């Protein structure tokens, strides 16, 4: 184990090129079997190995460096692909594309999430209709008490998680998660963990954290084993949990940092406006030379705050989901297309994204959104391309600013300008 730790953390997988003088922001490069990723980078969500509403050729236009798919949602497809792969290898299909890349239809670095988030989203989250970040409306304590621990869709044990969904029962644990992720073939994979809810108590989080740490060990063990067998390299990230509790976050950081992971994910839930605080508890205990991925974050402000604290990777559904719902991102803030339906100006002034360059106006986009099913699909595709491009471009600018020692200035300037639209 100790040997592994030494070898794996120095494999040239992650190189830090520059550290910002005034903040903890850093510029780096991740080298994966399918290409390099310049960090900080936004990882675009492609849950079922496709970016919703986009064709493979669209993805190339969006400055996307890397995408993340999901173990839980590709479970069946991944296991069924066993036969497919065998058949194809028999018929001499010499291309060694991974399952993910085949489905994605374009070549670029990929990641997969382990299914740990679904322990929350399909359990507590679904049951109580809350997200992993406590929202603006303060939750009544009595309400919080009444809903705590109601997780009728899942059963969690030391071995893993039983999902009881849509009348189907299935079990996912660290070993199976690693097996599925191996099959999916991402360049970077995550250890199986338990994402808890922001309303879970200290005691619950403590127990959950013990499980997550146990599963981290097992994910690592199984991954090392399968690597020996197949010879194929996948980089594995461990995940820090601990919810909203400082002592647990620190404990988790230290523990995950002590294991021979290739990178560190920071997962779990956050209290309202407590994200920076939580990241600050975690970062000091992480190895400086390993990449850090803030799971499931974030919004524009979150990105700047996290980069400032030394985060290298993000992923979030915000750009894509909100695009589908008609929200457009611009440097002056985001706006809902319905509010600007009569304006014949580009989605964003002087935007260089392919959609704006093609002359799609706000009025046109609105008309498409309200048109036939086919037109709506077009609208969602345009909005998705624009938003993804916007986020990727923003990260590009952030990288540039770190390079020039101007991150803080850039952050302040950008956030000042990024206000809800006039």
Partner RNA sequence: UCCGCGGUAGCUCAAUGGUAGAGCGGCUCCCUGUUAAGGAGAUGGUUCCAGGUUCGAGUCCUGGCCGCGGAG
341 part of the interface to RNA, by CB under 7 A:
yes
Other beta carbons within 10 angstroms of residue 45's beta carbon come to 22
159 part of the interface to RNA, by CB under 7 A:
no
For RNA, which is the closer residue by CB, 45 or 385? 45
Phi-psi region of 38 (alpha: psi -120 to 50; beta: other; left: phi over 0): beta
Sort 87 into a burial class: Cβ within 10 Å, 0-12 / 13-18 / 19+: exposed
From the CB of 374, what's the least distance to RNA, in Å?
9
For RNA, which is the closer residue by CB, 53 or 259? 53
From the CB of 88, what's the least distance to RNA, in Å?
27
Is residue 396 classed as helix, strand or coil in its secondary structure? helix
Interstrand relation of 263-266 and 235-240 (parallel, antiparallel or unpaired): parallel
| Catalytic site includes residue 315 | yes
From the CB of 195, what's the least distance to RNA, in Å?
2
For RNA, which is the closer residue by CB, 138 or 231? 138
Q: State the Cα–Cα distance between residues 214 and 168, nearest whole angstrom.
A: 26
- Distance of alpha carbon 352 from the chain centroid: 25
For the record, the structure tokens of 280 come out as: 């600050």
From the CB of 129, what's the least distance to RNA, in Å?
7
Closest-CA residue to 303 (of 156, 183, 401, 403) = 401
Binding-site member from 21, 325, 400, 403 for RNA (CB under 7 A): 325
From the CB of 115, what's the least distance to RNA, in Å?
8
380 part of the interface to RNA, by CB under 7 A:
yes
For RNA, which is the closer residue by CB, 113 or 187? 113
Which of the following is catalytic: 58, 113, 200, 302?
113
Q: Are 31 and 416 in contact (CB under 8 A)?
A: no
55 part of the interface to RNA, by CB under 7 A:
no
In the stretch 69-108, what mask flags binding to RNA with x, by CB under 7 A? -x--x-----------------------------------
Q: Are 227 and 234 in contact (CB under 8 A)?
A: yes
Is residue 330 classed as helix, strand or coil in its secondary structure? strand
Sort 166 into a burial class: Cβ within 10 Å, 0-12 / 13-18 / 19+: exposed
Binding-site member from 4, 93, 135, 258 for RNA (CB under 7 A): 135
Sort 266 into a burial class: Cβ within 10 Å, 0-12 / 13-18 / 19+: buried
Query: Rounded to 5 degrees, what are φ and ψ at 184?
Result: -70, -35
113 part of the interface to RNA, by CB under 7 A:
yes
Binding-site member from 9, 24, 217, 377 for RNA (CB under 7 A): 377
How many residues bind RNA, per CB under 7 A? 58
121 part of the interface to RNA, by CB under 7 A:
yes
Which of the following is catalytic: 20, 262, 302, 315?
315
For RNA, which is the closer residue by CB, 27 or 195? 195
Q: Are 313 and 43 in contact (CB under 8 A)?
A: yes
For RNA, which is the closer residue by CB, 317 or 358? 317
b/e code 381-392 from CB counts within 10 Å (16+ = b): bbbbbbbbbbbb
Which 281-310 residues touch RNA, going by CB under 7 A? 295-299, 302
For RNA, which is the closer residue by CB, 88 or 336? 336
β-partners of residue 335 are 328
35 part of the interface to RNA, by CB under 7 A:
no
256 part of the interface to RNA, by CB under 7 A:
no
| Catalytic site includes residue 200 | no
Q: Are 48 and 74 in contact (CB under 8 A)?
A: yes
Q: What amino acid positions are annotated as catalytic residues? A: 113, 315
Binding site for RNA (CB under 7 A): 45, 47, 51-53, 68, 70, 73, 113-114, 116-118, 120-122, 125-126, 131-133, 135, 153, 165-166, 190, 193, 195, 239, 241, 265, 267-268, 295-299, 302, 315-318, 320-322, 324-327, 336, 338-339, 341, 370, 376-377, 380
């Amino acid at each position: 184990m100790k040997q592994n730790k030494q070898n794996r953390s120095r494999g040239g997988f992650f190189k830090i090129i520059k550290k910002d003088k005034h903040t903890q922001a850093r510029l780096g490069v991740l080298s994966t079997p399918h290409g390099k990723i310049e960090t900080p980078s936004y990882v675009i969500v492609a849950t079922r190995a496709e970016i919703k509403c986009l064709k493979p050729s669209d993805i190339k236009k969006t400055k996307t460096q890397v995408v993340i798919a999901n173990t839980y949602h590709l479970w069946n497809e991944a296991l069924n692909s066993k036969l497919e792969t065998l058949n194809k290898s028999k018929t001499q299909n010499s291309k060694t594309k991974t399952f993910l890349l085949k489905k994605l239809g374009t070549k670029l670095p990929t990641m997969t999430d382990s299914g740990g988030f679904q322990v929350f989203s399909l359990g507590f989250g679904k049951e109580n209709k809350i997200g992993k970040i406590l929202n603006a409306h303060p939750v009544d304590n009595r309400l919080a008490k009444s809903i705590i621990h109601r997780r009728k869709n899942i059963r969690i044990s030391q071995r893993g998680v039983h999902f009881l969904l849509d009348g189907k029962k299935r079990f996912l644990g660290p070993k199976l998660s690693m097996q599925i992720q191996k099959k999916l073939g991402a360049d970077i994979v995550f250890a199986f963990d338990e994402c808890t809810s922001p309303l879970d108590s200290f005691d619950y989080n403590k127990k959950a954290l013990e499980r997550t740490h146990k599963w981290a060990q097992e994910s690592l063990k199984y991954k090392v084993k399968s690597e020996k067998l197949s010879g194929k390299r996948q980089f594995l990230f461990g995940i820090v949990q601990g919810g909203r509790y400082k002592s647990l976050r620190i404990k988790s950081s230290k523990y995950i940092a002590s294991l021979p992971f290739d990178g560190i994910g920071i997962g779990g839930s956050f209290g309202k406006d407590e994200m920076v605080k939580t990241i600050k508890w975690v970062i000091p205990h992480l190895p400086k030379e390993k990449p850090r991925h803030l799971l499931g974050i974030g919004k524009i402000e979150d990105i700047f705050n996290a980069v400032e604290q030394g985060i290298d990777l993000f992923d979030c559904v915000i750009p894509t989901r909100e695009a589908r719902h008609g929200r457009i991102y611009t440097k002056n803030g985001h706006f809902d297309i319905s509010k600007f339906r009569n304006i014949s100006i580009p989605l964003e002034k002087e935007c260089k994204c392919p959609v704006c360059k093609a002359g799609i106006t706000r009025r046109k986009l609105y008309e498409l959104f309200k048109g036939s099913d086919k037109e709506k699909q077009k609208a969602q595709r345009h909005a998705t391309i624009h938003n993804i491009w916007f986020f990727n471009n923003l990260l590009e600018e952030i990288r540039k600013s770190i390079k020039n020692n101007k991150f803080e200035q850039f952050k302040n300037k950008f956030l000042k300008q990024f206000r809800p639209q006039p």
